[in-house]
Amino acid sequence: MPYKANLAALKEIGVEYVIGTCIVGSLKKEIAPGSLVIPDQFVNLTWGRDDHSEADGGSFIHLPMGEPYCGHLRKKITEQSVATQTAIIPQGTVAVIQGPRFSTAAESRWLSVNGWDIVNMTQYPECYFARELGLCYAAIAAVTDYDVGLQESLVIDPRQMGKVLEIFRGNVQKTKDFLLAFIQRAPGLSCGCASTLLKAYYEEGL
């Protein structure tokens, strides 16, 4: 996935904030398939990805990532979910695995034992590239199934794929409807948190 190119193009045309969408599996019984989650943390378990930006002319940028997602944007999304009566889980940690294969049951149980909430293959490095470009970033994660380690009835399995795909299609429509309403009704979305961090990096030589 061309994370770097996509975000660079958005920055080039004047975009100030990005709401990413992604498909995830649940690592907790209480996060049921069909749920929408607004992540506030990620754990990167990937390797070998093109995750170095040239934004600083070739050197590494040591930007703070303690709070990787824009808190202001996440708050606006949560507020809009109340206004539109869209059920949303307002926080969660997403474990980002390498892919393209799914986890083994043992790997999945390990992710759950660590207390992480959802699992996905695409949230890194997109979230980080947005920070390097000074773009406020949040994500809406749509849950399609329980990850295999939970041994629930609805997991990625050939016998369950019809139901998983049904939930997937429902999530896509739900997310589209929510984002359309969100864009139309929510003013003042960009708080400038990412651009402020980027400015401080260059001014202080971090």
pLDDT of amino acid 168 = 87
Q: Where are the beta strands (DSSP E) in the chain?
A: 17-26, 36-37, 41-44, 93-96, 118-120, 136-146
Q: Shortest CA distance to 182 belongs to which of 12, 1, 10, 19?
A: 19
pLDDT of amino acid 162 = 79
pLDDT of amino acid 205 = 55
Q: Shortest CA distance to 23 belongs to which of 174, 180, 160?
A: 174
Q: How would residue 62 be classed by pLDDT, with cut points 50, 70 and 90? A: confident
- CA–CA distance, 118 with 122 (Å, rounded to integer): 12
List residues bridging with 118 in a β-sheet. 26, 94
Q: How would residue 154 be classed by pLDDT, with cut points 50, 70 and 90? A: low
pLDDT of amino acid 155 = 58
Write 57-65 long-range contacts (CB < 8 A, 24+): 61/132, 61/201, 62/201, 62/206, 63/131, 63/132, 63/197, 63/198, 63/201, 63/206, 64/197, 65/128, 65/131
List residues bridging with 1 in a β-sheet. none
pTM of the predicted model over 0.95: no
- For the ranges 22-26, 83-87, 122-126, 192-196, the lowest mean pLDDT is seen at 192-196
**For the residues 35-40, what does the mean pLDDT come to?**
96
Measuring CA to CA, how many Å separate 47 from each of 1, 44, 55, 99, 131?
14, 9, 21, 10, 19
- Residues designated as active site: 145, 147
Report the CATH number at residue 101: 3.40.50.1580
Range of the domain at 149: 3-204
Q: Which two tokens stand for residue 70?
A: 């824009």
Q: Hey, how many other C-beta atoms are within 10 angstroms of the C-beta on 144? A: 23
- CA–CA distance, 39 with 26 (Å, rounded to integer): 12
Task: Tell me the three state secondary structure of residue 67.
Answer: coil
- CA–CA distance, 66 with 157 (Å, rounded to integer): 36
- For the ranges 8-12, 60-64, 74-78, 110-114, the lowest mean pLDDT is seen at 60-64
- Total number of domains in the chain: 1
Q: How would residue 204 be classed by pLDDT, with cut points 50, 70 and 90? A: low
- In the chain, the N- to C-terminal Cα span, in Å, equals 30
